[in-house]
Structure 1
């Protein structure tokens, strides 16, 4: 996915007459820095074209960063005060504890689950380094926005329309991302949230006194128009800041095409390709942008030769796993 600040896009997975997945998959970013960046789904006939020629909206990372933010998946930070959040759906987990009277109406009690030190350590960046880009930066224009490493990043999965084996792919991808970044990802089970769009990042009646967890869902084009055409995935995160403090991602969304992903999983080596798609999306989720290097997973054209994070991806993820701890949020 091109940059988007948070989004992730997924590759096109063209099919050959034999049903095998061709050697390439296009990832077209159709989002904006604040929106989720999607990848392209399988094209009817595989034709080798450079991703930059096919990608129209998000191939140029700088342009993406300049686009306006989208409420559902903002990549740019917001500052307090925010307007109160009014959940419009019944709680998915009856056992959650509602905020106390001292809790601000628009955000959780500060320091929820915050530890004094990072919960893990990112893998050392490869000695050779590699090409990588970031979606959003702090005020210094150099330090990338990242998730707080001193507290776990929770995620939930909406099981509706999930293809056989789909959730296993998602969990495996989060496990790999945690291994690389040192961030602790915690699966909180299933949810009944109806959409990844226009999503409240604080839903006390559903999730309790904490930031809403990352939402992973399989959606149709009707549910998420961004999945129209060949787009098979979209992801993004919301960053917030308190006063002049650092910006921190607190939650996000990952939308996977409920129609095309099952097709991809049915291909030979489909689980491998699907995992690469989800890994690419999760790279966007934690702050990586697209690169013009075909040897990296974050290249907008996915290739069978690159099923996992490569040296440049790992270099960027090492930095994102060492973001600031912000207990006051």
Structure 2
């Protein structure tokens, strides 16, 4: 059975790796820097680009509706969420997008919306480039990806985004804002980027569209607040198997909780 490994590096709740080979992997990490929560997808191992992506792994585990985890929780153990009363707008830089990238994103967004009750909406194109040097202040100034602007989804290259060099295939996540207390924290912006040449390799492989879509779903799952889980039947597992192309019971349960966070205030009036 073929598998892409999504190997965490430093998530708030690190998944165990007892069933994962460190070779032949696509890794998705959840790193924390200041108030940015980031998911990183990367490729490790040797051989051709596609060989580095596709390996052999254990069969998916049995589905489990309890198999979900969150990127961030309040002191009371409640997941930090987006405001479900506001649309989450996405703009897309398709400068280097592989063929079919728009369909991949649309299908991933449709699935996240259906499972969470949130409203992610692709509102149009942008020429905004992801900025590896972007500061917290700049993120709050209204540029795509910032706290008063649409989420930036960029199909890019390692030359534009050096953090995609080497083994990395994608990175992204939400920006969270504490508000007047941690218990009222809400996600209010985010950035997702993909290494387009690496994704093109996935698309050319077996079940390429379904597998690439699952990778995009995984990243959009991080964007709305899901973390990794041990259960390999879930899209949010550290290892993404051929055949696991749709959100499973745990994924859906976690997404449903992320869509029920309440509407405490209009973040458009907030100061970051």
TM-score by length of structure 2 reads 0.76
1:311 CA drift (Å):
1.0
Aligned to 2:256: 318
1:27 CA drift (Å):
3.6
Aligned to 1:300: 238
Aligned to 1:38: 40
Contact 1:196 1:253 in 2 (8 A): no
**Inter-CA distance 280–30: structure 2 relative to 1 (3 Å threshold):** closer
1:61-210 correspondence runs (5 A): 129-140=65-76, 142-197=77-132, 198=134, 200-204=138-142
Q: Residues of 2 paired with 1:241 and 1:181: CA distance?
A: 22
Q: How many residues align?
A: 232
Q: Residues of 2 paired with 1:37 and 1:128: CA distance?
A: 23
Q: Residues of 1 paired with 2:159 and 2:247: CA distance?
A: 32
Aligned to 1:216: 153
Deviates more, 1:41-50 or 1:172-181: 41-50
Q: Secondary structure at the match of 2:91?
A: strand
Q: Residues of 2 paired with 1:174 and 1:149: CA distance?
A: 15
Q: Residues of 1 paired with 2:44 and 2:155: CA distance?
A: 17
Q: Residues of 1 paired with 2:206 and 2:178: CA distance?
A: 45
Q: Residues of 2 paired with 1:318 and 1:278: CA distance?
A: 19
Q: Residues of 2 paired with 1:216 and 1:192: CA distance?
A: 11
Matched, 1:262 2:200: yes
Matched, 1:290 2:238: no
1:278 CA drift (Å):
0.2
Higher alpha-carbon Rg: 1
Deviations 1:169-221 (A, max 9, x none): 111111111111111112120111121532633444x67xx811111001222
Deviations 1:85-130 (A, max 9, x none): xxxxxxxxxxxxxxxxxxxxxxxxxxxxxxxxxxxxxxxxxx9623
Q: Over the residues paired in the alignment, what is the CA RMSD in angstroms?
A: 2.7
Q: Residues of 2 paired with 1:269 and 1:129: CA distance?
A: 26
Q: Secondary structure at the match of 1:255?
A: strand
Structure number with higher helix proportion: 2
**Inter-CA distance 25–277: structure 2 relative to 1 (3 Å threshold):** farther
Q: Secondary structure at the match of 1:32?
A: strand
**Inter-CA distance 269–305: structure 2 relative to 1 (3 Å threshold):** closer
Contact 2:96 2:157 in 1 (8 A): no
1:284 CA drift (Å):
0.7
Structure number with higher strand proportion: 2
**Inter-CA distance 130–139: structure 2 relative to 1 (3 Å threshold):** closer
